[in-house]
């Protein structure tokens, strides 16, 4: 488990900005779960699921070289624009079963990830109950739930990490899709 700052969040059409030293920036399509009411020390997955305010499509962008440098994964996940979300927040009454949603991610039109939330190791209710045992979740908090196989880091060499000019399309079935271009950013000028 790791935390991502609010500055990492961007919209579904915004540009993913590669840090200047980026060599291994990866993609991870995920179901995003927005907390609707305060949840603390909840031991019941059904009760935790009832606290969901909505669901959305998320891309948990990760700079793998920062993760490998340890000791925490957060360094590789916290850059500005590394959490595209949306396009919509879909209320729980419109999602029949959060464990029956397709997850798809393409880079430049090539399918890189395809799976379903039915393959998650733990259901949404179980994840929220567990997280609430570690910290209080407040309304508006966003919990990302994990990604299917197909990330660049898990592919054979040469690994297809994100590069300037790529376009990432991510979608969670029924929750809408994203189309985020990728661009390298230059190191700021120093005086």
pLDDT in tens, 128-157: 999 999 999 999 999 999 999 999 999 999
State the pLDDT at residue 20.
87
Query: Is pLDDT of 191 > 60?
Result: no
Residue 190 lies in a domain: no
Residue 151, classified by CB atoms within 10 Å of its CB into exposed (0-12), middle (13-18) or buried (19+), is buried
Question: Of the candidates 22, 48, 26, 44, which has an alpha carbon nearest to the alpha carbon of residue 35?
Answer: 48
Whether residue 20 contacts residue 184, with contact meaning beta carbons closer than 8 Å, is answered with yes
E-state strands within 19-165: 25-26, 29-35, 52-59, 62-63, 83-84, 102-107, 110-116, 142-144
Whether residue 83 contacts residue 60, with contact meaning beta carbons closer than 8 Å, is answered with yes
Mean pLDDT of the chain: 93
**Number of domains comprising the chain:** 1
Whether residue 33 contacts residue 145, with contact meaning beta carbons closer than 8 Å, is answered with yes
Residue 18: CB atoms within 10 A of its CB come to: 23
Q: CA-to-CA distance for 99 and 49, rounded, in angstroms?
A: 11
Whether residue 20 contacts residue 185, with contact meaning beta carbons closer than 8 Å, is answered with yes
Higher confidence at residue 82 or residue 190?
82
Structural domain boundaries enclosing 152: 6-184
pLDDT in tens, 68-83: 666 666 678 899 999 9
Residue 43 lies in a domain: yes
Q: CA-to-CA distance for 42 and 44, rounded, in angstroms?
A: 6
Mean local confidence (pLDDT), 34-49:
97
State the pLDDT at residue 177.
98
State the pLDDT at residue 66.
75
pLDDT in tens, 2-24: 788 999 999 999 999 998 888 99
State the pLDDT at residue 73.
65
Q: CA-to-CA distance for 20 and 119, rounded, in angstroms?
A: 35
Residue 52 lies in a domain: yes
Residue 191 lies in a domain: no
Residue 111 lies in a domain: yes
Query: Is pLDDT of 33 > 90?
Result: yes
Query: Is pLDDT of 187 > 80?
Result: no
pTM for this predicted structure: 0.92
What CATH number does the domain containing 99 carry? 3.90.850.10
Whether residue 52 contacts residue 35, with contact meaning beta carbons closer than 8 Å, is answered with yes
Neighbouring-strand partners of residue 182: 16
Residue 174 lies in a domain: yes
Mean local confidence (pLDDT), 100-104:
98
Mean local confidence (pLDDT), 16-44:
95
Of the chain, the percentage scoring pLDDT greater than 70 comes to 93
Query: Is pLDDT of 86 > 60?
Result: yes
């Amino acid at each position: 488990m790791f935390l991502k700052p609010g500055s990492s969040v961007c919209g579904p059409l915004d540009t993913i900005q590669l840090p200047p030293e980026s060599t291994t920036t990866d993609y991870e399509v995920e179901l995003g779960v927005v907390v609707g009411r305060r949840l603390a020390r909840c031991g019941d997955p059904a009760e935790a699921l009832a606290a969901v305010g909505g669901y959305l499509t998320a891309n948990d962008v990760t700079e793998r070289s920062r993760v490998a440098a340890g000791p925490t994964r957060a360094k590789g996940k916290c850059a500005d624009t590394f959490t595209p979300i949306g396009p919509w927040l879909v209320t729980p009454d419109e999602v029949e079963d959060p464990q029956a949603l397709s997850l798809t991610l393409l880079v430049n039109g090539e399918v890189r990830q395809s799976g379903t939330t039915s393959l998650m190791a733990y259901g949404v209710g179980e994840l929220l109950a567990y997280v609430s045992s570690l910290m209080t979740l407040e309304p508006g908090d966003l919990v990302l739930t994990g990604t299917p196989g197909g990330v660049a880091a898990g592919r054979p060499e040469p690994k297809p990490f994100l590069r300037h000019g790529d376009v990432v399309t991510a979608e969670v079935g029924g929750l809408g899709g994203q189309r985020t271009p990728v661009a390298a950013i230059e190191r700021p000028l120093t005086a």
